Amino acid sequence: MGKVYLVGGGPGDPELITLKGVRAIREADVILYDRLINNELLNHARPGADLIYCGKLPDYHTMKQETINKFLIKHAASGKVVTRLKGGDPFVFGRGGEEAQALAKNGIPFEVVPGITSGIAAPAYAGIPVTHREYGSTFAFVTGHRKEGEDEELKWESLAKGIDTLAIYMGVKNLPYIQERLLSHGKSPKTPVALVQWGTTGEQRTVTGTLNTIAEEALRHEVTNPTLIVVGEVVRLREKIAWFEKLGSDQRDGLVAETAGVY
């Protein structure tokens, strides 16, 4: 019997993976990796390791989740060390919980290696602390996907009235709907909002507005996925403490590229 590592590869900057995550890549006989991991991380794989792409695009899955689960089980059952490499953290909108369930059900040994999720890292690189004593003490991760037929009113009311800062994943496509739900449940139209596209990478850019204007700003600036939506008063701090984008494109690219050889 082999073993599976469910590894969070971080939000894009290859230096933001953990040392344990790098070790799991180095030890693997088989690596199943997603679209949003930085391909520089695959340079840590040992020669001869089998690299299997499982990337998923919005509305199009290169490999179905059931197939991924079967691959993990099959390779580990044959005695191989398998690393499932995901962007961000495997248990934050990464379906790592489903994979862990499948492995447990089939008696496959596994470990979970947490990763830095984009809900914290992308705002940090954009100069936005997700909590701050003067601006917000409550924080929530939210999926921007809509589930057909689900009654979401209670959820949106709680998010609008009970949480200071929202980090919304995969929400650009549904931004007008998100905007309308928060406004209709009492969130102030003047609430600052930031859209952080390709956070922590050399391609990062941030578009800001208010809850009342952000859908229009997203269209005007042609914002697409992958983008993290931050809603809350903490966004105001970006004006003073934004750091990464102020480095300039050459410096940003260099900072991210330098990390490829760190380990």
Catalytic residue among 20, 56, 74, 80: 56
The amino acid that residue 136 corresponds to is G
What is the Rg, in whole angstroms, of the alpha carbon atoms belonging to the chain?
Answer: 19
What are the C-alpha distances in Å from 72 to residues 7, 66, 116? 13, 10, 23
Q: Which of 3, 13, 29, 34 is catalytic?
A: 34
170 is catalytic: yes
- Catalytic-labelled residue, pool 164, 170, 173, 253: 170
Based on the residue annotation, tell me whether 190 is a catalytic residue of this protein.
no
Give the contacts of 33 (CB within 8 A, at least 6 positions apart): 9, 41, 42, 51, 52, 53, 54, 55, 85, 86
Tell me if residue 13 is catalytic: no
Instruction: List, by residue number, the catalytic residues.
Output: 34, 56, 170
